Amino acid sequence: MSSRKWDYGDVVALRYVPSGSARWIKPVRVVEDTAGCVALYLAADTPLKKPVHRHTGEQINRRLSYIERFSIDWVLGDGVWADNAVLMLTRPGTAHSFWAFWRGHDWTFLGWYVNFQDPLRRTDSGFDTADHVLDLVIDPDLRSWRWKDEDEFEEACSVGRFTDAERTAIAREREAVVAIVRSRSWPLDVAWSTWQPDPAWTVPTLADILA
């Protein structure tokens, strides 16, 4: 694992690497890289790498069940992170990340999303993690929230994506996140909804991270 620290404004690669193979590669800008927080900004309309059908290059239908998608023969292809801008706030060592969302064209704050994932691992090009399928969607006023993709998480467990020990650890992480939401502690105790990116920043390209 790399020990490299990143500076404000650096463009780095955020890779999702389950089972050793990168499934998503996103160019993001570093907002903060400290012992207490890694903050990464994913701009609307950012080009990225994502899974596509190996033989046709077609996008994989997100409406398919997890079991169906799990069996698809895929390669990395080109895609775009469209519409919304995201600030990803992660405490080192934690198995989740709080994402603040804005509508890209008018910067309306849309709310929070908690992505359950492996703790961030530093690399020479940025950070690696692996998605845990399960997510939590939180309204902008923090008064209500709902679980997302619980059915997909169960399907992922059924095909061996997670071991029993990993499933237990994710359950503990769920409890920890709910406690954060109920107490409105970090990062929900900070006025992130008013945050804006540096106006000098351009949308990163894949060439910035794959060169």
- Return d(Cα 85, Cα 66) in angstroms, integer: 26
Check: CB of residue 29 under 8 Å from CB of residue 88. no
Q: Which amino acid is at 164?
A: D
Query: Residue 148's closest CA among 66, 33, 61?
Result: 66
Residue 155: left if φ>0, alpha if ψ -120 to 50, beta else—which one?
Answer: alpha
In a 3-state reduction of DSSP, which class is residue 38? strand
The HSE-up count of residue 63 (CA atoms within 13 Å, CB side) is 0
Give me the phi and psi of 151, to 5 degrees please.
-65, -40
Q: Which of 67, 52, 62, 10 is nearest to 33 (CA)?
A: 10
- The answer to whether residue 148 is catalytic is yes
Q: Spot the catalytic one: 5, 26, 49, 148.
A: 148
- Cα separation of 169 and 152, whole Å? 17
Return the active site residues.
148
